[in-house]
Amino acid sequence: MTASTTTMASPAAISRSERAKGIFVSFFEWFGELGMFCARLGRAALTRPYEIREFIHQCDEVGSKSLPLVALAGAATGVVLSLQTRDSLIHFGAKSLLPAVIFFSVVKESGPVITGLVVSGRVGSGIGAELGSMKVTEQIDAMEASAVEPFRYLVATRVLACILMLPLLTLCADFCAIVMGWIAETFAEPITFRYFLENATKGVQFSDFIPPTLKTLVYGFIIGIVACFQGMRTTGGTEGVGRSTTSSVVLSSLFVILADVILVRLILVFYG
Amino acid sequence: MEANHNQTPVEVADLRKSYGEQKVLNGISLNVAQGQTVAVLGRSGTGKSVLLKLLVGLQPADSGTVRIDGQEITGIEPGPLNEIRKRMGYLFQQGALYDSLTVEQNVDFPLSRHADLSESARKDKVRELLSSVGLSDGDFEKMPSEISG
């Protein structure tokens, strides 16, 4: 009799491999479902009737109600940039470049990213929780049963409001950061705002300013779509709403950062 | 439900629905005639709510057909399906009122989208409907959580 050389995998190893396979499949399922969600959103957003009143309401929710938080975050960024950069620039004898450093740092990177992250925290959690609780209490089913398309009324309005509001909020964050950067600089060495701005914007072109601001359109789309998607697929009662809220914030923040890497590279390719 | 008198308003044939391994509806068939009242009885989890959701097109069936006024609704586009839904009423187990809208706005919500009425005519209609179920002027501006029942 010959001894069998076949070795059997242990139950623990099988369970680990099954679990890994499950995670792998659900990862691709998530993206597949997101793709179908985007397609359904596209159809809902482009066909009549348009929910103009709800869209304006959502612009107010996303835009004006996020404004104080975004302005504060922008202002803090400006102050920190001014305080941190000043010593380094003095060390290299390039103190006169401080206004330009603040301006470029804020406009090209800090302003858009800070705005994206603040909005993904405030708006992403709000949308995830609101749609999640509507889903588990069957309000979305009720909307469908009364022949109102929930994708048009709930999703399209929120995603479009996020897309429209993000660049505007970014401009506010940029403005607050630059003004507070100047104020922080003035405490160390008084200069007029006009002189600060002249130094900051010397040699600035539209290509330095427009693409970084417009990249927040993509951030807005990401925040809106991820939060709506997570909210609309909520299951499991109040615990499920909690999970949707958390995942809306975590995933939208993560995707904003990942999108930033790609968009910065694209901007450098086309405008660098 | 208003129906065409020449047809059976609700026809269900060999309807099947499963959630994963769990078979909820296993080839159910039924017809509801004009004016007929049908009660579906069964223990919890036997698919009564699922059947109703399939009848309104809130969930897709795995197989089988649902005809409303002779029109097949399984796999139908959202536009024509919504036209059918406008003629149907569906009461959810937990009410499913929009909790961010007032009682008056809740009733007005579908009317504002589907009824060809002026704002004042719509308001009169909504108030008439609310009064008919015993709600008074003071209740119209309340949120659903503030009224009982």
Q: Provide the pLDDT for residue A7.
A: 58
The pLDDT of residue A8 is 63
Q: What is the mean pLDDT of residues A40-69?
A: 91
Closest CA of chain A from B68, distance in Å: 14
Nearest residue of B to residue A50 by CA position? B113
Same domain, B73 and B128: no
Cβ–Cβ gap B53/A139 under 8 Å:
no
pLDDT at residue number B78:
82
pTM of this prediction exceeds 0.90: no
Structural domain harbouring B139: 103-146
CB contact under 8 A, A141 and B92: yes
The pLDDT-based confidence of A79 (bands split at 50, 70, 90) is very high
Closest approach of chain B CAs to the CA of A38, in angstroms? 16
DSSP A48: S
Q: Does the pLDDT at position A173 exceed 90? A: yes
CA A77 to chain centre: 17
Q: Which residues of A touch B56 (CB under 8 A)?
A: 144-145
- For residues A226 and A219, the answer to whether their CB atoms sit within 8 Å is no
pLDDT in tens, A224-256: 999 999 999 999 889 999 999 999 999 999 999
Are β-strands B63-68 and B10-19 bridged in parallel, bridged antiparallel, or unpaired? antiparallel
Choose, out of B1, B109, B112, the residue to mutate when testing the contact with A (most A CBs < 10 Å): B109
- Nearest CB partner across the interface for B94, out of A137, A144, A148: A137
Predicted complex ipTM exceeds 0.90: no
Residue A212 has pLDDT above 50, yes or no: yes
Which residues in chain B are closer than 8 Å to A149, comparing Cβ atoms?
78, 82
Confidence of residue A9 (pLDDT cuts 50, 70, 90): low
For chain B, the domain total comes to 2
Q: What average pLDDT does the segment A91-116 reach?
A: 89
| CATH code, domain carrying B39 | 3.40.50.300
E-strand ranges in chain B read 10-19, 22-32, 63-68, 71-72
* Pair (B79, B142) in one structural domain: no
B67 & B33 share domain: yes
Residue of A nearest to B101 (CA): A139
Q: Is residue B92 situated within a structural domain?
A: no
Does residue B139 sit within a domain?
A: yes
**Residue matched to tokens 């009461």:** B91
Same domain, B20 and B80: yes
pLDDT of residue B1: 46
∠ CA(B73), CA(B78), CA(B82), 5° rounding? 75
Backbone dihedral angles phi then psi of residue B29, each to the nearest 5 degrees: -135, 135
A146 contact residues in B (CB cutoff 8 A) = 85, 90, 109-110
B68 and B134 both lie in a single domain: no
pLDDT (average), residues B39-66:
90
pLDDT for residue A19 = 86
Q: CA of B5, closest CA in chain A: separation in Å?
A: 23
Query: Is the predicted pLDDT of residue A1 greater than 60, yes or no?
Result: no
B30 and B67 part of one domain: yes
Task: Compute the distance between CA of residue B33 and CA of residue B106 in angstroms, rounded to an integer.
Answer: 31
Q: Do B16 and B81 belong to one domain?
A: yes
Is B1 inside a domain boundary?
Answer: no
Whether B110 sits inside 8 A of A149 (CB atoms) is: no
Q: CB distance from A139 to chain B under 8 Å?
A: yes
Query: Based on the domain organization, do B17 and B81 belong to the same domain?
Result: yes
Pair B65, B32 in one domain: yes
Pair (B130, B68) in one structural domain: no
- Indicate if B62 and B110 belong to the same structural domain: no
Min distance B86 CA to chain A CA atoms (Å): 6
The pLDDT of residue A171 is 95
pLDDT digits (tens, 9 = 90+) for A121-172: 999 999 999 999 999 999 999 999 998 889 999 999 999 999 999 999 999 9
Could you tell me the end-to-end alpha-carbon distance of chain B, in angstroms, rounded to an integer? 24
Contacts of A233 (CB under 8 A, 6+ apart): A33, A135, A244
Residue in this structure with the two tokens 């919890």, named with its chain if needed: B44
